[in-house]
């Protein structure tokens, strides 16, 4: 059975972190898969770090690393550097794994270098978030000649795409997810899609609800597109 590194970036997640980690650990233990959970505390200013340190015993299966706040992409970069298993998956704190999701991941793992899940539903999305998502999806598809159903949900990566094929993450925002797909495509690595359920966030709001995040993501997309074009 393939082994799995689960990277969980956490920034001010005190309301969700304990339930999220307990659910992830329970689900992964039930599968019997060889796993590690790497929590990256991205400079939280609330009780996130304290809650984790107080309620969990760290081991080869559960690791906590704290850093200055640098954004989602920077947290993922560190998580990848620290990972040791065959495959890597990023899991948001507010969307812990459930039995159906881990079953789908296990079913598809090994089928491609990059596994890209697509949401079968989008719970908790406002009309504005749905419009932003459609525009972003269309922009990525047209600019980078991709035809995938989703670019920013849960991905599973063969760790070799980072360690052997030298794919690096340049962006700290949401764009880093399609960035990895685009770079994998340009290196002729294999990409496959699979469906995965999405569950509604219980606390706070999704980053896609922020105008600031939407604008940053738009400019990151254009910046990367221009960079690729200038290289040709």
Longest Cα–Cα distance in the chain = 52
Asked if residue 184 has pLDDT above 60, the reply is yes
Enumerate domains of the chain plus CATH numbers: 4-231 (3.90.550.10)
Give the number of other CB atoms < 10 A from CB of residue 157: 24
pLDDT at 201: 56
- Among candidate residues 149, 161, 154, 152, the one with its CA nearest the CA of residue 112: 161
Q: Among all chains, which residue has been given the structure tokens 């939407």?
A: 214
Under the banding of pLDDT at 50, 70 and 90, the label for residue 121 is: confident
CA gap 161, 114 in Å, rounded:
8
**Residues whose CB falls within 8 Å of the CB of residue 57, separated by 6 or more in sequence, listed in order:** none
Q: Which two tokens stand for residue 5?
A: 């590194």
- Identify any residues that bridge with 196 across adjacent strands, giving them in sequence order: 119
Q: What DSSP character marks residue 207?
A: G
pLDDT, tens digit, 9 for 90 and up, residues 132-141 = 889 999 999 9
Give the number of other Cβ atoms within 10 Å of residue 58's Cβ. Answer: 12
Quickly state the pLDDT bin for 203 (edges 50, 70, 90).
low
- 143 pLDDT more than 80: yes
- CA Rg value for the chain: 17
d(CA 156, CA 63): 19
């Amino acid at each position: 059975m393939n082994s799995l590194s689960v990277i969980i970036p956490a920034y001010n997640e005190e309301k969700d972190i304990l339930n999220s980690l307990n659910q992830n650990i329970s689900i992964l233990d039930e599968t019997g898969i060889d796993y590690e959970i790497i929590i990256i505390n991205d400079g939280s200013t609330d009780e996130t770090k304290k809650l984790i340190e107080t309620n969990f015993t760290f081991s080869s299966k559960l690791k906590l690393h704290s850093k200055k706040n640098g954004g989602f992409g920077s947290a993922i970069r560190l998580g990848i550097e620290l990972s040791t298993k065959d495959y890597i998956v990023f899991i948001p704190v507010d969307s812990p794994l459930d039995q159906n999701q881990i079953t789908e991941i296990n079913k598809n793992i090994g089928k491609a270098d990059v596994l890209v899940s697509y949401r079968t539903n989008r719970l908790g999305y406002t009309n504005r978030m749905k419009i932003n998502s459609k525009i972003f999806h269309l922009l990525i598809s047209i600019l980078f000649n991709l035809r995938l159903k989703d670019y920013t949900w849960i991905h599973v990566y063969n760790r070799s795409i980072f360690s052997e094929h030298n794919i690096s993450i340049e962006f700290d925002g949401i764009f880093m997810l399609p960035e990895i797909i685009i770079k994998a495509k340009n290196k002729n690595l294999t990409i496959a899609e699979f469906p995965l359920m999405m569950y509604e966030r219980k606390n706070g709001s999704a980053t896609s609800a922020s105008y600031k995040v939407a604008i940053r993501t738009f400019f990151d997309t254009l910046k990367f597109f221009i960079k690729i074009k200038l290289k040709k």
